[in-house]
Structure 1
Amino acid sequence: MDKNLRVKQWIWIGPPLIMVSLLTLVVLSYAVYLGVHDVNLLKKNFSYTGFGNFVKIWHDARAWSSVWKTVKFVFIGTLLEAILGLALALYLHKDFKLRKITRSLLLIPMIMTPVVSALIWRIFYDPYSGIINYLLGIIGLGGKHDWLGNPDMALYSLIITDIWQWTPFVFLILASGLDSLPAEPYEAAKVDGASRFNTFWHITLPLLKPVILIAVMLRVIDSIKTFDLIYVMTRGGPALKTETLNMYTYVQGMNNFNISYASALSISITIVLTILFVYFYKNVIAQKN
Structure 2
Amino acid sequence: MNAPDHPDTVRAAEAAPPPPPRRRGLSDRALAWVFIAPVIALLLAINIFPLLWNIWLSFTNYRANRPGMDVRGMGTGNYERLLGQDDVWESLQHTAHFVTWSLFFQVVIGFALAWLINKQFRGSGLWTTLIVLPMMLSPAVVGTFWTYLYQPQVGIFNAIVGFFTGSTHFSMIADRDLAPWAIVLVDTWMWTPFVMLICLAGLRSVPQDLYEAAEIDGASPLRQFVTITLPMVLPFLMLAVLFRGIENFKMFDMVVELTSGGPGSVTELANIFLKREAFEKWRTGYAAALAVILFVTVFGFANIYVKAWNTVKQR
Render the CA deviation track for 1:242-270: whole Å, top value 9, x for unaligned. Answer: 01111100110111111111111111111
Report the secondary structure of 1:77's partner residue.
helix
Render the CA deviation track for 1:88-134: whole Å, top value 9, x for unaligned. Answer: 11110011221111111111111100000001100000012334335
Which stretch shifts more, 132-141 or 232-241?
Answer: 132-141
Counterpart for residue 32 of structure 1: 55
Instruction: Say whether the 8 Å CA contact 1:235–1:243 is kept in structure 2.
Output: no
Instruction: Say whether the 8 Å CA contact 1:214–1:285 is kept in structure 2.
Output: no
Report the secondary structure of 1:55's partner residue.
helix
The 4+ residue runs of structure 1 with deviation greater than 4 A are: 4-14, 134-142
Partner Cα distance (1:8, 1:89) in 2: 45
Instruction: Say whether the 8 Å CA contact 1:69–1:244 is kept in structure 2.
Output: yes
Render the CA deviation track for 1:212-253: whole Å, top value 9, x for unaligned. Answer: 111111111111100001111113421101011111001101
Partner Cα distance (1:110, 1:13) in 2: 33
Alignment of 1:93-132 (within 5 A): 93-132=118-157
Would you say 1:20 and 2:20 are equivalent positions? no
Alignment of 1:139-178 (within 5 A): 143-178=168-203
Counterpart for residue 192 of structure 1: 217
- Structure number, greater radius of gyration: 2
Q: Which amino acid is 2:214 matched to?
A: A
Counterpart for residue 20 of structure 2: none
- Percent identity, aligned pairs only, is 28
Partner Cα distance (2:64, 2:278) in 1: 9
Which stretch shifts more, 163-172 or 37-46?
Answer: 37-46
Partner Cα distance (1:131, 1:12) in 2: 56
> Matched residue pairs, number?
286
Q: Which amino acid is 2:42 matched to?
A: M
Instruction: Say whether the 8 Å CA contact 1:133–1:142 is kept in structure 2.
Output: no
> Which of 95, 98, 112 matches 1:70?
95
Instruction: Say whether the 8 Å CA contact 1:249–1:266 is kept in structure 2.
Output: yes
Render the CA deviation track for 1:3-22: whole Å, top value 9, x for unaligned. Answer: x9998877666633541243
Partner Cα distance (1:90, 1:182) in 2: 15
Alignment of 1:40-51 (within 5 A): 40-41=63-64, 43=66, 44-51=69-76
Counterpart for residue 252 of structure 2: 227
The Cα of 1:45 is off from its aligned counterpart by: 2.8
Partner Cα distance (1:262, 1:138) in 2: 43
Partner Cα distance (1:142, 1:98) in 2: 41
Counterpart for residue 3 of structure 2: none
Which stretch shifts more, 126-135 or 201-210?
Answer: 126-135
Instruction: Say whether the 8 Å CA contact 2:235–2:312 is kept in structure 1.
Output: no
> Which of 73, 78, 102 matches 1:53?
78
The Cα of 1:198 is off from its aligned counterpart by: 1.4
Would you say 1:244 and 2:250 are equivalent positions? no
Counterpart for residue 260 of structure 1: 285
The Cα of 1:143 is off from its aligned counterpart by: 3.3
The Cα of 1:46 is off from its aligned counterpart by: 2.1
Partner Cα distance (1:125, 1:50) in 2: 46
Q: Which amino acid is 1:252 matched to?
A: E
Instruction: Say whether the 8 Å CA contact 1:236–1:243 is kept in structure 2.
Output: yes
CA distance 1:123–1:209, change in 2 (3 Å): same
Instruction: Say whether the 8 Å CA contact 2:239–2:309 is kept in structure 1.
Output: no
Render the CA deviation track for 1:189-216: whole Å, top value 9, x for unaligned. Answer: 1212222221111110011111111111
Aligned alpha-carbon RMSD (Å) = 2.4
TM-score for the superposition, normalised by structure 2: 0.84
